[in-house]
Structure 1
């Protein structure tokens, strides 16, 4: 049957049909465009990231997160405190703008040197304003310039205007934000404790000397857990890799550009890294950009793998270790690699507001340039370790080439080639293989992250 698709006479399309979303309305209408809506964890992480930015700039020494019995969460730091004066252009308290305006914050004016943060987790500028929009109540207490300021919001709107509630010492500064997430915006109403703990631990790893504490209220008790990693990346990576013997000792280094050192990168940009190889295990690395975890990787991870590949390939060729007919590829070097990578860069570009994947092209060159020379130098200083690693990589290459020959034979027999949208199984056992059908590429990325490679 052919339906009559003619417009109804009752439908009107005029000037008044166009709706303009103002303030935080876009976030409430389409929260999935601004944050992960599986649970409220990500909107809490936005507040934690602000505290971490203060620590990254050298202004804070502690970050404290409390899970309260009423399902609210508070985040406190001893940084400079959010400015509470009247904004010169908007005519409203600056702290109010931070929580009620999209794209308002101290992270935009970086290259001029006038911004509050030289390095921070992106330029989206919608972090804590999204937290406010998706919370039924949010309270902020600021200690700054000898005064204790307080302000509260409900459903994204001001309910308690900014007031001064008391005084404090001039050196007693910081910000405390307490959030009551609105359950209707999320699939699950409660914080993912495992994800929260992992994020807090990573902040402690990347900020040596900063104490990160998690408090949990419940049943009349207060449970506390504190993370502090004076050994930084090397200490954390050694813990992750466990008791299994490593092929080479953990290689840890860092490099940041200084003033007038070059035209390619700005002063302060650079990277810290720690990596090693297992003989048999394949583990997933961890990477960060300005303290933001990038669980889906990105161009900085590609830069690390490229730098390691070029350094090791040069070592192998210099010592004549490569058998005839064997060609090394990037995957041969990274197959058993375990790493922690943290970079600092101006104006990082991410895939989406959740910042799971770095897309800045400059990051590939930044990391590969910094990693290659020191690692190649280390290999030539520790030839026995270098040869052991070369042997592993060459065996990986030979196994790959042998497997490729089998695949070519299958192709010639009429078996279809795996489509580009699919990721091949790592196991050859039929009973361990599964096919996951997902809605789109973003969901596919989450499914790949959840694969158990151990």
Structure 2
């Protein structure tokens, strides 16, 4: 058997745009080229957001290419003072090059934008067979052409234009090799462009695409003079609104003494529906966030507080009924547009906002307008209150039905289980916590209404080859089974889940190698002996941070901050962001958590347990991936698989990224 060589020449360094070509899925969605076109559209929209452009034109050509044109300032074409390369070339060929850094210092080209890392259009360039950029600026027209991310035709002046005529046009030919489908998703492009028109008052957005045969190209144009309100009404179409649509806009003023920066804030439109599917869309600095995030959580909190105050003020709540946040918000249809100075997203595709401060910002600036509207429209407020109370009563009735189905011979719950007050399966959560010390912090950090804690002493038994009859010989497994209220079962068994006591069962262990081992042992237990809990989406893994960065106050306008990082990569990102903000090395301190027991309850709640700010990953088996998953578990956890594990580690061990 030949041994693979591992020496100095084995290490590959990817330069320029090679990392994008090697792993495109890290930088964009690879189902179709739609997202790399969106990156170009987002740049044009950022020019309009800054007030420098009033139209955006998108054209789909017969050869499959797409061009995006705006009448903004035009990308600078002069030489970069340090790199001595035309700036327009840098933007399209270098990762982490762009004009959207230094927002707080005022040295960036944009105050508000969705751009964070400077990788957007360089990714578009890397994944295209050809990309042409035409810039009108300062009375001259320049052009540069790329192929596969490299310069094909250097920057050249190709003509003159009026001094006031400026803008950028980018034409992209996506490379089909990198995408599952080479065709753009036209409905997604239309939704995106329509949303840009809604969120940019006064800006006209056009889309032109070829028609069949020799017919003239089809064109669409979007322009919404009434902004979010008219857009939400279009989204709702034939849905029956319980109350008229309410729209408001609220931003932090220049003379405000709040913790937020001037210009930050929200615009939103919302209503309650009697029936039908609830439409909701949210955006951050014009970037769509289909997975929501902390800004949506802030609106939800503001709506709940305002409606709850209205109900209490008018004494509308029947005896014995307690209204919860979901009772108020689950019939709300809304469009939310948030402006945040320094947004943080989950991944480069920016599907979800993760700023914890955004929750506080949205809740703070949107609460008063909603409360004022309710008190000025008492009939509408009472209608909303009635919907929320009916929802709460229906929820409470469903809990009572579940109780009647329970048998009388219920096992005694473990003494170390700290149970929650609620009996509603949809909101109850059980945290399986590594160690008594961490369990103590988790008990203080939990929401006692809906969150239960079960501390685990030491590592759980590797139950992969343990017979079901012997499982309860292990105290930890016995306590887990009794606490969740479901008996062990096989993948093909008919199982009764009526005794299930928690909708979410979350594994909470230290952010180190030992914690990962405990995760694997518990996932083995659920995969082998409780497979229906995984199949029905009840099992989760909580992700506590490994690092905390304490940043000192930066003058009166910037209070002290605590930033958390999941791993070294996130820590590096935070430090890079602090550097771009101009924060000195001496103005912050980095500490590493040795384990959950070291975190105080407030830190554990804020980072790991609060539904609006935690990171909780649902455990799922991919469709059709059952056999492969079984094979991996056999290799990793089987007692007779030591030889195959050794061979696997020898083959794959150089790829591991472990923090030991």
Both proteins in one fold, TM over 0.5: yes
1:48 maps onto 2:132 in alignment: no
Q: Out of 379, 382, 395, which is 1:387 matched to?
A: 382
Q: Out of 282, 286, 289, which is 2:281 matched to?
A: 286
Partner of 1:61: 54
Shift of 1:155: 0.6
Shift of 1:412: 5.1
* Partner Cα distance (2:228, 2:68) in 1: 24
Partner of 1:295: 290
Partner of 2:312: 317
* Partner Cα distance (1:228, 1:327) in 2: 44
Partner of 1:139: 132
1:179 maps onto 2:172 in alignment: yes
Q: Is the 8 A contact 2:141 2:161 kept in 1?
A: yes
Q: Out of 12, 21, 24, which is 1:19 matched to?
A: 12
* Partner Cα distance (1:132, 1:108) in 2: 20
Q: Out of 312, 335, 356, which is 1:340 matched to?
A: 335
Q: Is the 8 A contact 2:33 2:174 kept in 1?
A: yes
Partner of 1:430: none
Partner of 1:405: 400
Distance 1:33 1:252, change over 3 A: same
Partner of 2:30: 37
Q: Is the 8 A contact 1:229 1:235 kept in 2?
A: yes
Partner of 1:241: 236
Q: Out of 372, 387, 395, which is 2:367 matched to?
A: 372
The two structures have a TM-score, normalised by structure 2, of 0.62
Shift of 1:406: 2.2
The two structures have a TM-score, normalised by structure 1, of 0.90
1:273 maps onto 2:357 in alignment: no
Say which structure, 1 or 2, has more relative contact order (CA 8 Å, 6+ apart): 1
Q: Is the 8 A contact 2:210 2:217 kept in 1?
A: yes
Q: Out of 106, 114, 120, which is 2:107 matched to?
A: 114
Shift of 1:380: 1.3
Partner of 1:450: none
Partner of 2:183: 190
Larger Cα-atom Rg: 2
Q: Is the 8 A contact 2:135 2:168 kept in 1?
A: yes
Distance 1:419 1:321, change over 3 A: closer
Shift of 1:416: 4.6
Q: Out of 353, 356, 370, which is 2:351 matched to?
A: 356
Shift of 1:409: 3.8
1:331 maps onto 2:326 in alignment: yes
- SS for the counterpart of 2:504 is coil
* Partner Cα distance (2:236, 2:332) in 1: 11
* Partner Cα distance (1:269, 1:181) in 2: 35
Unaligned runs of 5+ in 1: 1-7, 423-433, 448-454
Aligned residues: 426
Query: Which is further off, 173-182 or 365-374?
Result: 365-374
1:261-310, CA deviations, whole angstroms, 9 ceiling, x for partnerless residues?
A: 02411011010000000112241310000000000000000000100000
Q: Is the 8 A contact 2:236 2:279 kept in 1?
A: no
Distance 1:118 1:141, change over 3 A: same
Query: Which is further off, 209-218 or 306-315?
Result: 209-218
* Partner Cα distance (2:301, 2:331) in 1: 15
Q: CA RMSD in A?
A: 2.2
* Partner Cα distance (1:411, 1:56) in 2: 57
* Partner Cα distance (1:412, 1:204) in 2: 58
Partner of 1:420: 504
Shift of 1:435: 6.9
- SS for the counterpart of 1:356 is coil
* Partner Cα distance (1:443, 1:167) in 2: 59
Unaligned runs of 5+ in 2: 409-484, 486-497, 507-534, 542-616, 624-660
Shift of 1:436: 9.2
* Partner Cα distance (1:209, 1:91) in 2: 38
Shift of 1:411: 5.3
* Partner Cα distance (1:271, 1:309) in 2: 17
Distance 1:27 1:408, change over 3 A: farther
Q: Is the 8 A contact 2:240 2:276 kept in 1?
A: no
- SS for the counterpart of 1:65 is strand
Q: Is the 8 A contact 1:282 1:337 kept in 2?
A: no
Shift of 1:125: 1.5
Shift of 1:379: 1.1
Partner of 1:229: 224
